[in-house]
Chains A and B, each alone.
Chain A
Amino acid sequence: MPEVRSEIWVIAEQHGGQVLPASLELLAKARELAAEPGWSLAAVLLGQGLQDLARELLTYGVDEVLLAQHELLTEWQTPAQVKALAQLAGEHKPQVILAGATASGVDLAPRLAARLKTGLSAHCVDLEFDDRGGLFAVVPGWGGSIMAKISCPTARPQMATVLPGVFAPAQAGEAKGQVIELAVDLSPDDLGYKVLEKVEVPPAQSALDGAEVVVAGGWGLGNEKDWQLLPELAQALGGAVGSTRPPVDEGWAQENQMIGTSGRSVSPKLYIGVALSGNAHHLVGIKNPGLMVGINKDPQAAIFDHCDLGLVGEAGEILPALLEELRD
């Protein structure tokens, strides 16, 4: 059995030979964690015919890439992934296993944790070590209004899934470390179900892509009529309209206008958030913004904790006034 040094494992989730951005983001954060003396970091890559990808992963600051290849891992199927990872973890006893809170990751991680009889912190937004190697995972609860710090004092490995988009992705650098090939034992019964088809719904083009000015609105606008002030403002500023989840549910905004966890990411030079509370699920989609402006009638709204400028008042009053002022 080859010797594996790494105590921190990041599951490098790949579909069709492409590693998801969420895994690269995790690698960056895990690199920080592994900077403490005595820790080393591995990316765990499962699939078939992935030698090149494994070597590529060596450029992302890992100490090892653990590569397990098997025909039954060619297409991602969670039950097989869980079985393979459980074997690897059972043999090599990592201290920490991290996975992206992706569609597959949130299925894989709890099953793996249950099989390893260990704890899992889900949908984390931050990770830190205490001085004894205990992992603390920061988890938002109740729509992000309260944060919980979760530890896993005795069971090992300590596991966490991390929301995509929380950390900046690792950048490719000089390759170092080594690829270690590990064997896993799988049979067709381990697949659990049969995937008949993958229906791809390509993400609709969105005016948000590359927008330098984003005017985003929330449920607080209250009705479709007031919502229509947003496109006017966006037009006046040469920008695009974004949305939180509720206006999409209400039918005021399109799915491809949603910014955040289950929507798009934007990096505008100017962001104006109107009548939205400013919860983590939305804000995670705003990367490296320039000027952030919040407009909300509630002076306590969380959005103001993330903005440079705040305006308190009804959107239905402020926006028409702002439009007039901009035209003058």
Chain B
Amino acid sequence: MDFAFSDREELLRKSVREWAEQELPPRMEEMEETGEFPMDLMPAMGRMGFCGVITPKQYGGTEMGNLARILVLEELGTVCPAIPMAMQVHHMCTYALVTNGSEAQKEKYLPPLVKGETMGVVAVTDPSGGSDVAGMQTSAEKKGDTWILNGRKCFITNSHHSDIWVVIAKTGEGRKGLSAFIVEKDFPGAVLGRKEHKVGLRGANTGEMAFQDCEVPAENLLGEEGAGMGVALSDITNCGRPGMTAVGLGILNAVLKEAAKFANERTLYGKPIARLQSIQNHLAEIYQDRELARLAAYRVGWMLDQGMRVDTESALAKSFACEAAARSARKAIELHGSYGIMNEYAVQRLLRDAIVTIPAGGTAEIAKLVMSRAALAAAS
């Protein structure tokens, strides 16, 4: 067992950190205020290679893999968690195309995504619910060479900044009743709906999209007809949950840093509060959460790079890291006293950010459902 990062991974972490620390802080206030993702950062992140980290080189990606992806998202998230939130969904779009797309689809859609010319979207969740994939109401009906889509998708990350949407819609009944489509923003009948105002991860745009007799050419069916459930679930398991784990991990890094800094600087009774045992307890718990989230996150990345299945591990890592981020952010706020709820201190934003990660990619309950299968299998 080898827990060491390679020189390549260490250098990657360092270079992402340098970029993030230089480029992101000047943008964060505006992101927080407007709730908009700074789109000019996308081509810059494309040049850095972030957008194509799990895309094969032939389509312009770096193909550095899943552990590298987690490092990138973690480092971006340590500075500004909204950025990897948007980026990880962008990756989900590239993942869906790479794993299910035809050669023509990959050649057409991957290069602009990898270059950061646009953002990627994966639209699964209907107003009827996200985790109940089978209960989806957005439908697609084939008429000649065209699929006609009708329905609505909500809570969709990157919705208003994307030209390329991977949309799951109902094409039949039962397990094979869903199909995936590549919808371009400009297809007739593709409409953007409201923009959401979230409490946290405000710089990652979230909104609704609607399909009103939206015409999608037959060649834009992604994968087989009826394979939509698999497209969605494999994307969520292999890309979405590992990505959200990394977002949570980034938040945990930031929380730990803010908490430790404050504990060293703030004095009470003539000495830094870091010398008080109750404060040390808070710090130790935050540290423990961060370290365990790291182990869980890197293991998932490593397993994916080995070609292993990660159904249970990615659910575990995601739910642990995001819950840990929220609980640690709350502890950090308590450690800050009244400062913690002031706008000038980052910890209040980190708590808001952390809370938003919890439902993304499946709630804790869904994760427990997945994990319970592995737990029950332990009987034999």
Asked if chains A and B are in direct contact (CB within 8 A), the reply is yes
Residues of A bordering B, CB below 8 Å = 297-299, 312, 316
User: CB distance A316 to B344 under 8 Å?
Assistant: yes
Residues of A within 8 Å of B265, CB to CB, are 297-298
Report the tally of A-B residue pairs with Cβ distances under 8 A.
10
Distance between B365 CB and nearest chain A CB, rounded to angstroms: 41
Which among B264, B267, B344 is the interface contact of A312 at CB below 8 angstroms? B267
Q: Is B359 an interface residue (CB 8 A)?
A: no
A299 with B344: CB separation less than 8 A: no
Given A299-B267, A299-B271, A316-B344, 7 more A-B residue pairs with CB atoms under 8 Å apart are A297-B265, A297-B266, A298-B264, A298-B265, A299-B270, A299-B272, A312-B267
Task: List, in ascending order, chain B residues with CB within 8 A of A312's CB.
Answer: 267
List 10 contacting pairs A-B, 8 Å CB cutoff, sorted by A.
Answer: A297-B265, A297-B266, A298-B264, A298-B265, A299-B267, A299-B270, A299-B271, A299-B272, A312-B267, A316-B344
Interface string of B259-286 (1 = CB under 8 A from A): 0000011110011100000000000000
A-side contacts of B272, CB under 8 Å: 299
> What residue of chain A has the Cβ atom nearest to residue B270's Cβ?
A299
B270 neighbours in A (Cβ, 8 Å): 299
- Compute how far the CA of A312 lies from the CA of B272 in the bound complex, rounded to whole angstroms: 11
Number of interface residues of B (CB under 8 A): 8
User: Within the complex, what minimum Cβ distance (angstroms) separates B28 from chain A?
Assistant: 11
Closest CB in chain B relative to A142 CB, distance in Å? 19
Q: Which residue of A lies closest to B339 (CB)?
A: A314
Q: Which residues of the other chain, B, contact A298 by a CB distance below 8 angstroms? A: 264-265
Please indicate the chain B residues that have their CB under 8 angstroms from the CB of A299 in the complex.
Answer: 267, 270-272
Looking at the assembled complex, report how far the CB atom of B209 sits from the nearest CB atom of chain A, in whole angstroms.
37
**Complex: A299 Cα to B273 Cα, angstroms:** 12
Minimum distance in angstroms from B303 CB to a CB of chain A: 41
Closest to A222 in B: B344
A-side binding surface: helix, strand, loop or mixed?
Answer: loop
Shortest C-beta distance, A97 to chain B (Å), equals: 41
**Minimal Cβ-Cβ distance residue in A for B262:** A297
Chain A residues with CB under 8 A of B264: 298
Q: How far is the CA of A316 from the CA of B267 in the complex (A)?
A: 16
Residues of B within 8 A of A316 (CB): 344
Name the residue of chain B whose CB is nearest to the CB of A298: B265
* Distance to closest chain B CB from A7 (angstroms): 50
CA distance A316 to B344 in the complex (A): 10
Chain B residues with CB below 8 A from A297, complex form: 265-266
Q: Which residue in chain B gives the minimum CB-CB distance to A312?
A: B267
Most buried by A among B267, B270, B271: B267
What distance in Å separates the Cβ of B183 from its nearest Cβ neighbour in chain A? 42
Taking the nearest CB of chain B, how far is it from the CB of A295, in angstroms?
13
Within 8 A of A (CB), among B210-249: none
Residue on B nearest A301 in the bound complex, by CB = B265
Q: Smallest CB–CB gap between B276 and chain A, Å? A: 15
Top 9 closest pairs, chain A to chain B, by CB: A297-B265, A299-B267, A298-B265, A312-B267, A316-B344, A299-B272, A297-B266, A298-B264, A299-B271
Contacts of B267 on A, CB cut-off 8 Å? Answer: 299, 312
Instruction: With CB as the reference atom, state the residue of chain B lying closest to A299.
Output: B267
Closest chain B residue to A296, Cβ basis: B265
Give the chain A neighbours of B271 by CB distance below 8 A: 299
Q: What is the minimal beta-carbon distance from A308 to any residue of chain B, in angstroms? A: 19
A298 to B272, CA, bound (A): 9
Which of B264, B265, B266, B271 neighbours the largest number of chain A CB atoms within 10 Å of its CB?
A: B265
How distant is B241 from chain A, measured CB to nearest CB, in Å?
36
Nearest Cβ on chain A to B317's Cβ, whole angstroms? 34
Docked complex Cα distance between A298 and B274 (Å): 12
In the complex, residue of chain A having the shortest beta-carbon distance to the beta carbon of B272: A299
In the docked arrangement, what's the CA distance between A316 and B265, Å? 14
Give A300's nearest chain B residue, CB to CB: B272
B266 surroundings in chain A (CB, below 8 A): 297
Once the chains are docked, how many angstroms separate the CA of A281 from the CA of B288? 40
Which residue of B is nearest A226, CB measured?
Answer: B344
Assembled-state Cα–Cα distance A299/B269 (Å): 12
A303 to B318 CA separation, bound complex (whole angstroms): 45
What is the CA–CA distance of A316 and B339 in the complex, to the nearest angstrom?
Answer: 12
What's the least CB distance linking B24 to chain A, in Å?
15
Closest to B266 in A: A297
In the complex, the chain A residue whose C-beta lies closest to that of B271 is A299
User: How many whole Å from B200's CB to the nearest CB in chain A?
Assistant: 21
A303: shortest Cβ distance to chain B, in Å? 14
Q: Which residues of B from 135 to 164 have beta carbons under 8 Å from A?
A: none
Q: Tell me the nearest residue of chain B to A225, going by C-beta.
A: B344
Output the least CB separation between B189 and chain A (Å). Answer: 47
Q: Which residue of B lies closest to A297 (CB)?
A: B265
**CB proximity of B219 to chain A, nearest CB, Å:** 52
In the complex, what's the smallest C-beta–C-beta distance from A250 to chain B, in angstroms?
Answer: 10
Measured in the bound complex, the distance between the Cα atoms of B268 and A297 in whole Å is 12
CB distance from A209 to the nearest CB of B (A): 33
Complex alpha-carbon distance, A298 and B271, angstroms: 10
- A291 vs B264: C-alpha distance in the bound complex, in angstroms? 28
In the bound complex, what is the Cα–Cα distance between A299 and B264 (angstroms)? 10
**Of all chain B residues, which has the CB nearest A316?**
B344
- Bound together, the chains give a CA A312 to CA B264 distance in angstroms of 13
In angstroms, how far is the closest chain B Cβ from the Cβ of A316? 7
Bound state CA distance, A312 and B344, in angstroms?
18
> Closest approach, in angstroms, between the C-beta of A136 and any C-beta of chain B?
35
* Nearest CB of B to A299, in Å: 5
B80 smallest CB distance to A (angstroms)? 16
Q: What is the CB-to-nearest-CB distance from A226 to chain B, in angstroms, rounded to a whole number?
A: 9
B269 to chain A, nearest CB (A): 12
CA distance A312 to B267 in the complex (A): 8
